[in-house]
Amino acid sequence: MKRFMPLLLLCSVCACSTPAYEALDRQARKEYLQPVRPGTEGRNPFWNGFAKKFIYAPAFGFPEADGAAQYLFTLTQEGADPVTFKADAPTADLSPVWDRLPCGNTTLTVDALDAGGAVLARVGERSFLRDFPYEGPYPGPARDYREAAIRALLYVHTMPEIQHWAESTVPDMGYSHNTYPCKIIGATIRNECLVASMLPERRENALAIARNAAQFLLDQSRPEDAPLAFFPPTYYLDREASKRDWNQGKTMTLEAASAGQAFLDLYDVTEEPAWLERAVGIGRTYVRLQRPDGSLPIKVDFVTGEPVNDVSAMLHPLLRYFLRLEGYGFPEFAAARELGERWMDEVAVETFDMTGQFEDVNVKGLEPYQNLTNCTAAPYASYLLSKPAPSRRDLANADDLIRLSEDQFVHWAYPEKTADGIYKRYAPCVHEQYKYEMPVDNSACNVSNAWLDQYAATGDLLPLAKAKAMVDQVTRMQNPVNGKIPTTWEWREAGKDRKRTFWVNCSLASIQLLLRADGMGKDFDKLK
């Protein structure tokens, strides 16, 4: 039975099934029978040891038993009859019964059988959520995409802490996330550049904000002769994650690319060459930091540039940055970009350990696959699909990364209500990472953009339909009074809601997605 998360908002489009959606639902059900990059393929180990839910039929790395002729798979759910099948290996995927297994919390046991059918030993047991599949259509947008984007732009633009920049070159720390300069202040600049471009009557004010915020990043950056020349810091003052011991005096290597993107936006809108020069300077520092194999360290000392652990960075933000710099007439970055692509292909994508790399989560000492995230997998899929001529391998890898993102982080519905009879989280949505199992708007944008890129590269309407469902949800989550798009999509009682976090960089991602969707009307018409 189809279930989706109701919202206390009226939608402008009724979610009524059509022949087109019925065909897409059938296609989705068939695709969900194909496991996501199982260890049996031999490319990577079984990556799902820490996974708690699946939309695609999973396979697990259970050991073989001596003398076993077959293996009995038994799936049980409270209040339902067991579902069973037999296979020749304990690593067989669950596709033979996946479409017969109801959605809900599930326990799997795998028993080794001898030639006579007697149980030799139990070789595996796992509990997980058999999660809800895509079943379109979902409720339509609450408002026009462009209107939603402008409302969200203005919410950020009119925040007192943002208007503070119009007269100051230091941040108002009343907005505590300003403790992350590259990420948050960079996003502030980009938001204001959009305001200046789209809303002429606000242009002068928006550019004053953007220039002063950019000047702060310049003032905080390392000098030209430093190992991290032109890099603004990841952390500023002792707030939030900035005050943790493991972040003191350190910087996340790829964060400077966020500032560089902001400088490029500011150059685009003002044509002032200083911003382009600074962006190019950041890019050249990255080239000097790049290792011979194409990788970069994830975190370094902000003064010396020396790595502080042996973890390598996921390179998708840097590769996008190099590609954009090339578009400004700097072909010098192509070789570094291609070298980074090779490392991503041969290491990150090949091992399928698309690990989380957040400035507020310690990355040292993580086991492989312990903190997977859509925030690495989906954006790199988008990068592969957006290449001028993606190879067959690029397309296949992108498909694997998108399926991983949906399988592990997308929730098309939730199985349980609270004792008060409400859903605590709103679906469809996308959770951020294993270490922060929360629906986040930026994550919804990551996966939606990847689906849109997949549609653009292949013409497949199913990823287009999935993307539309998620984009429409962004509009429905938006506050219709003030335009704010909340970062986290969960119900909170009044007292806790006043403490709800709001990240400007996440809001910017939603705005950019809405503007992209605004130009896709003819494509979305194909779903009718």
Residue 340's contacts (CB-CB under 8 Å, 6 or more residues apart) are 290, 294, 295, 296, 315, 318, 319, 322
Neighbours of 287 (CB within 10 A): 14
Looking at domain 145-525, does it have CATH number 3.40.250.10?
A: no
Q: How far is CA 363 from the centre of its chain?
A: 17
The b/e string for 217-251 (b: 16+ C-beta within 10 A; e otherwise) is beebbbeeeebbbbbbbbbbeeebbbeeeebeebb
- Cα-based distances in Å from 222 to 233, 309, 359: 8, 21, 19
- pLDDT (0 to 100) of residue 15: 61
Q: What is the pLDDT along the chain (528 residues), one digit of tens a residue?
A: 343 333 333 233 346 778 899 999 999 999 999 999 999 999 999 999 999 999 999 999 999 999 999 999 999 999 999 999 999 999 999 999 999 999 999 999 999 999 999 999 999 999 999 999 999 999 999 999 999 999 999 999 999 999 999 999 999 999 999 999 999 999 999 999 999 999 999 999 999 999 999 999 999 999 999 999 999 999 999 878 777 877 888 999 999 999 999 999 999 999 999 999 999 999 999 999 999 999 999 999 999 999 999 999 999 999 999 999 999 999 999 999 999 999 999 999 999 999 988 877 777 778 999 999 999 999 999 999 999 899 999 999 999 999 999 999 999 999 888 889 999 999 999 999 999 999 999 999 999 999 999 999 999 999 999 999 999 999 999 999 999 999 999 999 999 988 888 999 999 999 999 999 999 999 999 999
* CATH class of the domain at 19-130: mainly beta
- pLDDT (0 to 100) of residue 366: 86
| Every domain of the chain and the residues it spans | 19-130, 145-525
- pLDDT (0 to 100) of residue 409: 98
Residue 519's contacts (CB-CB under 8 Å, 6 or more residues apart) are none
